Amino acid sequence: MTDPAQRPLLFLDVDGPLIPFGAPAHPHPTHPVDPALLGAAANPLLTRIDPGHGPRLAALPCEIVWATTWMGDANEYVAPLLGLPRLAVVDWPEPSDVDARDERDGLHWKTRALVDRAAGRPFVWVDDELTGTDRSWAAAHHPGRALLHRVDPRRGLADGDYAALDAWLRQPS
């Protein structure tokens, strides 16, 4: 699987997986950030991003794509903190009647767009809002392998998450 077009995609959310929200008993950690990287208008939550995620993400055998409401801002503010290059970004479609129906049915608003973007390629979706409904829908509508991996937003991506992602990504197609 050396051809980049055949490598699995990893759709990565920011809020929750990379920016943990903590819990009252266990507040989120913060990390020092070079003020030049933050800029005057940057989100103060960026100090919650552990720069150690960058090398771990880069070591995964996949093509990483931002799948976040941060959209292009993920390349401006998040990628530099992680030492990652500019990554592809999912452009979310405008809301529609289908989205309203999906919401009533419990389907996450990102699910259809990510399955469409994968276009049959194997993919992993890392998010903190995934449910069984999303997994079932993806299994029924995506012809390739897919792993919809929910991250605990109180702690963000952790060792066990990386182990699960790496193991899945290294499985033969």
Interval 137-167: pLDDT, tens:
999 999 999 999 999 999 999 999 999 999 9
Q: Which residue has the higher pLDDT, 136 or 31?
A: 136
Q: Judge whether residue 83 has pLDDT over 50.
A: yes
Average pLDDT over residues 49-59: 97
Average pLDDT over residues 95-116: 89
What pLDDT score does 76 carry? 92
Q: Judge whether residue 7 has pLDDT over 60.
A: yes
**18 contact partners, CB below 8 Å, separation of at least 6:** 12, 49, 50, 53, 78, 82, 156, 157
What pLDDT score does 2 carry? 46
Average pLDDT over residues 88-97: 91
Residue 17, CA distances (Å) to 12, 60, 107, 127, 149 in order? 8, 16, 19, 6, 10
Q: Judge whether residue 57 has pLDDT over 60.
A: yes
β-sheet with 146-150: strand ranges across: 88-89, 63-66, 9-12, 123-127, 146-150
Q: Judge whether residue 100 has pLDDT over 60.
A: yes
Angle subtended at Cα 157 by Cα 30 and Cα 134, rounded to the nearest 5 degrees: 135
Q: Judge whether residue 125 has pLDDT over 80.
A: yes
Helices 132-141 and 111-118 cross at an angle (nearest 10°) of: 30
Q: Judge whether residue 1 has pLDDT over 60.
A: no
Interval 32-49: pLDDT, tens:
676 666 665 567 788 899
